[in-house]
Amino acid sequence: MTQMIRTSDKDLQTKVTDELSYHPGIDAAHLVVLASNGVVTLSGDVATLPERYAAKSAARRVAGVTAVTDDMAVRDPGAFGATDRDIAEAADKMLSWAVDVPADAVRAGVRDHKITLSGAVNWQYQREAAARAVMYLKGVTAVSNTISLTSTVPTADLRTVIEAAILRNAQLDTDKITVVVDGGDVTLRGSVRSWTDRRQAEYLAWSAVGVAAVQNDLVVTA
C-alpha cells in the first residue's frame, strides 16, 4: 500500500509540473511541486501576483488533485520600479474605471506593495471584480479583500432557491451536494468531481439574493 501511494504521489507531482510548464504565463523553472495523498504543495517564487494565481489554478485543473497548498512568494517588487504611492494612484483609477464595481464604493490602501480593499457593495461578484481590477497592477504582491456586503433580506426559502440553481447546472452532480442555510449564511457540504465544480457551486450560492456568507466545505474527490 505504501508503495502504491508513493507511486501515485510521484505521478501526480509529474502531472502538475507538466501542467505548470505547459502554461505560457507561468515560469515553472522557479517552482517546486510536492504531492501527498492528492494534496499538492507549490513553493518557490513567481514574478507577479497573477502568475501566482495562475499556478494555483493550473494545479487544481489536474485530475487527482484534491487540495492545493500555496507556499509561493512574489519576488521583490523593487525590480518593477513601482512605489506604494504609484500603486495606490493606479488602483484608484482601475476601481473607478471598472464597470462591475459600484462608483465610490471601494477604497484601496497600499503598504509594502500589498493592497487592502475596503468599503461595502451589494454582491459577492462586485467584491471579486474589485480584487480582479487591481491584482494586475505592476508591483502588487498581495491583495487583501476586506470589502463587506450590505445587508439585504434573504430570498424566501433561500435553501430551495439555491438547490434549484444547482439542479439547473448540467456540470454538477446534485445528489452529492447539500445546502445548509442559517439566515443569510450558506454552507455547502458533500463532494464534487473537480475544483471547477466546487467553484461553480459556490458561485451559484453567492448569486442568491440576501446571501451574506458562503462556507464551501465541498470535498474534491480524486
* pLDDT tens-digit series, residues 4-36: 444 489 999 999 999 999 999 999 999 999 999
pLDDT of amino acid 156 = 80
**Which pLDDT value is given to residue 222?**
64
With a cut of 70, which residues of the chain have pLDDT below it? Answer: 1-7, 77-81, 222
The pLDDT value given to residue 171: 83
pLDDT of residue 114: 94
The pLDDT of residue 151 is 75
CA-CA-CA-CA dihedral for 184, 145, 21, 62, to nearest 10: -10
The correct answer on CATH 3.30.1340 for the domain covering 79-149 is yes
pLDDT score at 166: 95
Residue the block writes with cell 466546487 = 198
- Residue 4 has a pLDDT of 43
Q: Which CATH architecture describes the domain 2-75? A: 2-Layer Sandwich (3.30)
Residues spanned by CATH 3.30.1340.30 within the chain? 2-75, 158-220
User: According to the CATH classification, is domain 158-220 in 3.30.1340.30?
Assistant: yes
Give the other-Cβ count within 10 Å of 99's Cβ: 7
